[in-house]
Chain A
């Protein structure tokens, strides 16, 4: 039985992952924004088999509250074995191009808040010398594209930060897992109409996360075929890439 903290717990991928962990009988602590949704989730996860479920509503963009929120979670669980950081917003690329305050908001939500949380968590895990930190980044962070480079910048920062953290925490026996989902059918992407073969369900991503932690992987593309797609995309020379409409 593991003590698991899920940050951004009401996101579709986080909830699907929480359900898998609940069915395995773990202890869960949910941190998210919407109290009504958290309450529904907690009751649901308990029925699905979680040993215990606690939750707290918190605005993750208020960085000053991170330390206290993490302390409360660690206390309630009586320690930490696994942390999943899953919150994020897709943002509006066009709006960001017109207004830097929108860009700043996106970077705060998708990158800076994650970095703040990881700064606290890294010290905790480093001291305890065991456990897993799993962070949801995105394939969008692998290369900048005109259609969503603000989101991509934030996710790219998360990818790089977790890479460095993995290097630092390796000697302490702590796993740092960077999860890079492709297109996922969630409320965050509900506005996108045509969903083709490349789209995956939150449940599929959740299975990749749970198995990635169990196998102590470093980086997981979810679903797996994105590793090939992104290898091709990263391999295109910049002088060609800049002319593409991506």
Chain B
């Protein structure tokens, strides 16, 4: 069947195996390697695509829960949505969540995802107490920061290339309310946005929406959104299903003028420089989850998401250089998100590092790929790198230059029998074995 990631670019013919148990995972692996695990298909590019794909929708059971500590053990196919539905009403929340709740625990570990609290809480992997991994030789091993630490560090952020994650134990965090107290700060330009991040570094959650089409004095104008868990109020999840985008929209709808108009309205909608509101956690963390299949907005060709991080030292100058290149190209992004990261971790291929990260969408078209190659050069020049969970087109040279630990990662894979057993279209493109 034809498979694609969330960006719907690229597409690939694949054989999809759907094991019902850990035993069947091992059988599938023995019969069909090389393959790659595939959860809910929310990585944007080709990191969960391959000629043979092992889908995890039926490996979605909770295994154990300790309601005194919040330690949850579950199979890797469990979605963050299922965790929230089950545990928010009991006063527990995810320690780290990305911008969609429709990802699996296995995918969150493999991409070592981050959220609006990265500056304080680190990545998803930092809250994984231990995991069980099916290796290329059929053995199942337990890995944690203290057991087979090399394998654990390669698996968190390892894009599924070390084995099939069967189950994991996570530390959920206590909440008193499912509501979020949000503060919105208007920043008229990039410097003001970064200053606002610095000023609010003690906020639990922070993220900025940034207008990538604004030029000149308004370059980088942003809305910084800060959040805290409310200390009183309900513990509930919304039950309304997402409103779907029923078909592929004509690709021409998203053009320079429409995106510019949207961005101007979105920025102008908020009047006061600082405003506050109380809202359920869903619209704060997952605004796009309210629209089912929003990826259809970009039409049939699909889109690519480009997320990079620049180290602190590159500073405003580096960010301004990237933004200027995008603004000059006129190839606007509907959604652009800016975030200040906390320190990097020791995982071999984890994306975050101390500095600034920006995520943008682009329609998948030839001129965009040329632009992105130019952006790669700027990012590399400043010592930055790209997020593999979003990537569909980075070159092997760019990857190896920006993730210098790739060779050590390969050594761990060799040691743990992964070579020849786990591969994705992305890993092949990036020159991994």
Considering the complex, give the chain A residue whose CB is closest to the CB of B55.
Answer: A190
List the B side residues contacting A43 at CB < 8 Å: 61-64
Q: How far is the CA of A96 from the CA of B21 in the complex (A)?
A: 29
B367 within 8 A of A: no
List the A side residues contacting B58 at CB < 8 Å: 12, 187
List the A side residues contacting B21 at CB < 8 Å: 34, 36-37, 40
B86 within 8 A of A: yes
Q: Which of B221-239 contact A (CB under 8 A)?
A: none
Q: Can you list, as one digit per residue, whether each of B7-35 has a CB less than 8 Å from chain A (1) or not (0)? A: 00000000010101111000000000000
Cross-chain contact A47 with B62 (CB below 8 angstroms): yes
Q: How far is the CA of A190 from the CA of B58 in the complex (A)?
A: 12
B1 within 8 A of A: yes
A26 within 8 A of B: no
List the B side residues contacting A37 at CB < 8 Å: 20-21
Cross-chain contact B64 with A47 (CB below 8 angstroms): yes
A44 within 8 A of B: yes
A205 within 8 A of B: no
Cross-chain contact A187 with B20 (CB below 8 angstroms): yes
Q: What total of chain B residues lie within 8 Å of the partner, measured CB to CB?
A: 15
A130 within 8 A of B: no
A135 within 8 A of B: no
B294 within 8 A of A: no
List the B side residues contacting A48 at CB < 8 Å: 62, 86
Contact pick for A36, options B23, B62, B75, CB 8 Å: B23
A238 within 8 A of B: no
List the A side residues contacting B61 at CB < 8 Å: 40-41, 43-44
Q: How far is the CA of A2 from the CA of B341 in the complex (A)?
A: 50
Considering the complex, give the chain A residue whose CB is closest to the CB of B65.
Answer: A47
List the B side residues contacting A62 at CB < 8 Å: none
Q: How far is the CA of A44 from the CA of B1 in the complex (A)?
A: 31
List the B side residues contacting A44 at CB < 8 Å: 61-63
List the B side residues contacting A36 at CB < 8 Å: 21-23
Cross-chain contact B18 with A47 (CB below 8 angstroms): no
Q: How far is the CA of A12 from the CA of B64 in the complex (A)?
A: 21
Q: How far is the CA of A35 from the CA of B22 in the complex (A)?
A: 13
List the B side residues contacting A12 at CB < 8 Å: 58
A193 within 8 A of B: yes
List the B side residues contacting A41 at CB < 8 Å: 61
Name the 7 nearest CB pairs between A and B, nearest first: A44-B61, A47-B62, A40-B61, A44-B62, A47-B65, A193-B1, A36-B21
